[in-house]
Chains A and B, each alone.
Chain A
């Protein structure tokens, strides 16, 4: 990522005191991000026994990535999770923002309520969901039965367990897409819409030719942030389903966590971490070009 400066003025001084201000944070990040990353890289070339370095194995841990079916399962579960959750969150969040982007009462209360899921401890949400999806007398199955359906075996069936995890993530993060879209929509220039209305443009036309083009960079940004965050998923499947039944909800991070801290195979876990970092960096690299304009516009 590059060019995230929002100033309209050039910073002014070439004063050496600037290092006093910046260095603590720089040293901190070097110490707590760069050094651990290098250490992880080093670790990934060794095999471990009983949690201690055993011997240098070269790229063997990376070669294992290609043949480990459990890892591939984790990757598949995570990809499914990411695609489904992010797609639904984007569509639902943006549509809601479009619908509610107008003058009305109670908007600030609505916004305050929508913030709540974003900050609800994810582990606690997952834990609470055990009761929400409880098969005998959980409220979701009770509602389904009241509507004339049958209860769903949410947590004991591999397919439905993943659906449950996905539903909870949608609950937690759709408000993020909604709030950011709404904030961006309200920042759009009102005179453009007035001009379009004077020219007799229909609602759909002004949406197509004003709203959508102006919102595109922001939507890419939201998509990027959601994708990056969704690939890290760990808390909800860990607390709601423990990765089960079987390995149906064992997402990538959970599998790596278990490799590292259940089986103490630190070298292999480090290699897995780098594969995930590679995937996430690839997404950022592919999408960043599309959001750069947000920052450039601000500077001009």
Chain B
């Protein structure tokens, strides 16, 4: 760790880093560059740098965004992501506070936490059948509301685990002082704890949005027409109309851009979330 890096090592490390970055970034660049190429340029090899090697165009972005289904899908995805994340954070923050500050029997807290996060182990395909049958019964098939409910359920572990850890790291004296001053538990929670965990809360909300935006299996199973979100629009379209690189580029960018921006915003809490609280990152 403290060892000095020799010039040979430095070159080796630089090389590995360069290859790794190229490997990670290439697909993103490929999607972007195809989205601004004229169809003829997508068939031509050696067209990598806009303006220098080919004349970029926004025509595919404009024509794709003019499609009613795409606009509807973007709206649906936004509703699902916002709704599900807000619900998950609302329920999760309350539960996180309870787990951090109250005792539920001898090992109740640990068991409850485990129970909450065990949903991330459940393969979604196990519950896709009952959800389909239940939503059909409730006439909620092809309704964004059903996807808001399901994504809130499956992202709930993130706020529970991230926020209960954050609350435990806060000094308890602050709340106790508020209680001594005559505040009740709810006031101590909303006026003392909430402001202090706000950065983590927002980050968790963003992580939940990204996961809800990306969810595919439930979206595919429960939507048929007007509730279809972006991931369902994109799946399999090319198999029916032949590969048109420029449209693939635009659609991929439209689908990926929001969760990627979310990821960059919530970076600090991502490792903690993805390892279910085990590694703080």
For this complex, into which size category does the number of interface residues on chain B fall? 35 or more
* Cβ-defined contact, A40 with B92, below 8 A: no
Q: Does A225 contact B (CB under 8 A)?
A: yes
Given the known interface contacts A7-B168, A239-B235, the answer about A37 and B103 at a Cβ–Cβ threshold of 8 Å is no
* Cβ-defined contact, A11 with B280, below 8 A: no
| Other-chain contact of A33, B103, B119, B129, B214 (Cβ < 8 Å) | B119
Residues of B within 8 A of A225 (CB): 274-276
* Cβ-defined contact, B243 with A130, below 8 A: yes
* Cβ-defined contact, A119 with B210, below 8 A: yes
* Cβ-defined contact, A131 with B245, below 8 A: yes
* Cβ-defined contact, A119 with B260, below 8 A: yes
* Cβ-defined contact, A132 with B259, below 8 A: no
CA distance A44 to B245 in the complex (A): 43
Q: Which residue of A lies closest to B161 (CB)?
A: A4
* Cβ-defined contact, A118 with B134, below 8 A: no
Binds B, one of A64-72, A82-90, A95-103: A95-103
Q: Does B52 contact A (CB under 8 A)?
A: no
| Other-chain contact of A9, B115, B172, B249, B262 (Cβ < 8 Å) | B172
* Cβ-defined contact, A180 with B275, below 8 A: yes
Q: Does A147 contact B (CB under 8 A)?
A: no
* Cβ-defined contact, A261 with B221, below 8 A: yes
Residues of B within 8 A of A35 (CB): 130
CA distance A5 to B281 in the complex (A): 18
Q: Does B251 contact A (CB under 8 A)?
A: yes
* Cβ-defined contact, B1 with A190, below 8 A: yes
CA distance A102 to B5 in the complex (A): 9
Residues of B within 8 A of A273 (CB): 123, 125-129
Nearest chain B CB to A101 CB, angstrom units: 7
* Cβ-defined contact, A40 with B243, below 8 A: no
* Cβ-defined contact, A4 with B117, below 8 A: yes
* Cβ-defined contact, B122 with A257, below 8 A: no
CA distance A112 to B112 in the complex (A): 33
In the complex, which of the residues B98, B152, B255 has the most CB atoms of chain A within 10 Å of its own CB atom? B98
* Cβ-defined contact, B119 with A238, below 8 A: no
B residues 72-97 with Cβ under 8 Å of A?
Answer: 91-92, 94-95, 97
* Cβ-defined contact, A11 with B109, below 8 A: yes
Nearest chain A CB to B86 CB, angstrom units: 14
Residues of B within 8 A of A120 (CB): 27-28, 256, 259-260
Q: Which residue of B lies closest to A274 (CB)?
A: B126
Supplied contacts A39-B134, A225-B276, A232-B125, 11 more A-B pairs, CB within 8 Å: A9-B168, A11-B99, A11-B103, A24-B91, A29-B156, A36-B130, A115-B270, A121-B259, A128-B27, A183-B279, A225-B275
Task: Give me the interface of A with B, judged by CB distance under 8 Å.
Answer: 1-15, 17-22, 24-26, 28-29, 32-33, 35-37, 39-40, 43, 96, 99-102, 104, 110-132, 134, 137, 139, 142, 171, 175-176, 179-180, 183-184, 187-188, 190, 193-194, 197, 203, 218, 221-222, 225, 228, 231-232, 234-235, 238-239, 242, 252-253, 256-257, 260-261, 266, 269-270, 272-274, 276-277, 280-281, 284, 291, 294-295
Task: Give me the interface of B with A, judged by CB distance under 8 Å.
Answer: 1-3, 5, 13, 16-17, 20-21, 23-28, 30-31, 34, 43, 45, 91-92, 94-95, 97-104, 107, 109-134, 149-150, 152-153, 156, 160-161, 165, 168, 172, 185-186, 189, 210, 213-214, 216-217, 220-221, 230-232, 234-239, 243, 245, 248-249, 251-252, 255-256, 259-260, 262-264, 267, 270-271, 274-281
